[in-house]
Chain A
């Protein structure tokens, strides 16, 4: 309960800082608009204002402060503008409408989930191979670790264009990028997990004369679950990132990444921020969902801490 208030305080501080930051960020735009509207502005021409500091402008034109939170295309939209845009584009619009964020989020989510399933499936398979075959362990594992230090996302534009040129379009290219990004964290985490039973436990199974597959199903797989869920949570966040970035280079028309790109082309800052928040909420929901599953699974297995 004490943590709850602490979190709330921190959030309130962030929102307050955000509102405060809106004033100097937007003041020039507001003053230009006010001048065009015929109001009296402290340095009267925009030429003089351009060379002045933002805080000086705020001090000279205190009347404009309230308007910095209400601008049409602000440099930094105020929190309530973002939230009202989110509300307008999710609840007020039909889900099938092209202007609904739910529609765009669902396009991105489809690619994310498909990629996540492919990536984790292959990742788990490879991890099983690595744990059971010394050759694979020694040849593949170093590369799996090294590949985590390189910016794989740089491949995204190429994957999309190449798949397009051989006739694969739509959800699959994005899903492949997602799969690719979630693949390596799962491999590394799962290998760690499958190796987590200690020598004593493995010896016990040997005294039971358990064969390899029994050892896998009854000992290694169950004891890898905590590691698996940790890497799944990393993997799903990476998958979402991959799906969003996968929408950038092709000029996709639907999806959260497409909304970000369209917003940045047309200077629609409120739209960018609302797409960003939608992505954040989506990521938060996916991670939270995995956390709930993790808690239940571990509890039923008697491993909950």
Chain B
């Protein structure tokens, strides 16, 4: 009971601290902007820990954060193997192939107005579909190993990437294109010097959406069959054994991988599209 009360106190204290910081004079500074979400996160973790202990919640319902951290630290080799199977082999290779193919396709489609008109509505429609459903088919075709996961990822990232790139390649204004024309620029010159740079914000938008999709595709595809390694495999078997601390450890790993992946793409974007209004200021 004391733990529950303590949790309540911690929660109130964290909230009070944050409201002091957020409404205080230093609210606009970078440090406070970083500090406030961190305090919130830590408060949630502490409250979670105290509540789980105080109410004696069974481990098969919700393990405490300390238990998850312990499990995470003690099974790093397994987690690393799962990560390299699912993320490095499955998601990343599929991501590169799918996004690359979509980029090339978009450049080809962009040359023909007719194709663009036809493909854009179809692509938009397909991008909204639950494409993960193709996983059982692709697992059947490409076997249980990472190749089938990469294939699922390719199918998942292809259409969002295609739609974004095609939209981006249309971003230049008539004035800019005319200027290139007066310079007597060839198609490829104006492509590389004007239209591709102008399309970059859209391309990166597609790339960022695709990072999440790639991980989702690779993990869900493993629910349909995988070798005895991989995040999706570990999650589904650990759930079966009611080893929820392991499941949470995998989820932490997946979250870390997903955030780093997204962060990496966002960093590249920042360095390549520094001129865009959304990146300045």
Contact = CB atoms under 8 A, between A and B. Distances in A.
B137 A269 contact: yes
Nearest to A265: B136
Q: Interface size bucket, B side?
A: 35 or more
Interface residues of A, number: 57
A134 B27 contact: yes
A241 B121 contact: no
A165 interface: yes
Interface in A194-236: 233
B60 A135 contact: no
A267 B139 CA distance: 11
B140 A75 contact: yes
Contacts of B119: 10
Contacts of A155: 251
Contact of A139 (B37, B132, B236): B37
Main secondary structure of the interface of B (DSSP, over half): helix
A162 B18 contact: no
B133 A244 contact: yes
A264 B140 contact: yes
A154 B133 contact: no
Contacts of A8: 118
B128 A284 contact: yes
Interface stretch (B73-81, B163-171, B219-227): B219-227
Q: Which of A138, A158, A261, A283 has the most CB of B within 10 A?
A: A138
Given A7-B118, A7-B121, A153 B220 contact: yes
B97 interface: no
Main secondary structure of the interface of A (DSSP, over half): helix
Q: Which of B114, B129, B242 has the most CB of A within 10 A?
A: B129
A149 B259 contact: yes
B130 A151 contact: no
B230 to A, nearest CB: 12
A248 B219 CA distance: 12
B128 A260 contact: no
B61 A154 contact: no
B118 A3 contact: yes
A162 B251 CA distance: 15
Contacts of A273: 137
Given A135-B23, A149-B212, A150-B254, A7 B129 contact: no
B235 A148 contact: no
Q: Which of B41, B133, B239, B251 has the most CB of A within 10 A?
A: B133
Nearest to B34: A142
A6 B136 contact: no
Interface in A269-298: 269, 272-273, 275-276, 279-280, 283-284, 287
B24 to A, nearest CB: 10
Interface string B135-157: 01101110000000000000000
A295 B134 CA distance: 32
A9 interface: yes
Contacts, number: 163
B115 A249 contact: no
A240 interface: yes
Contacts of A79: none
Given A139-B40, A276-B133, A7 B258 contact: no
A240 B133 CA distance: 11
A162 to B, nearest CB: 5
Contact of A264 (B122, B139, B231, B235): B139
A153 B216 contact: yes
B107 to A, nearest CB: 17
Contacts of B118: 3, 6-11
B135 to A, nearest CB: 8
Nearest to A147: B255
Contacts of B211: 149
A157 B231 CA distance: 12
B127 to A, nearest CB: 9
B10 interface: no
A158 B247 contact: yes
Given A157-B223, A248-B223, A275-B133, 17 more contacts: A7-B122, A138-B18, A141-B37, A149-B259, A150-B259, A154-B219, A154-B232, A154-B251, A161-B239, A161-B242, A162-B62, A244-B132, A245-B132, A249-B239, A264-B224, A283-B128, A284-B128
23 contacts: A2-B117, A10-B122, A134-B27, A135-B15, A138-B37, A139-B40, A140-B37, A143-B41, A149-B258, A149-B262, A154-B254, A157-B236, A157-B247, A165-B242, A233-B128, A240-B130, A245-B132, A245-B223, A249-B239, A263-B136, A264-B224, A269-B137, A287-B128
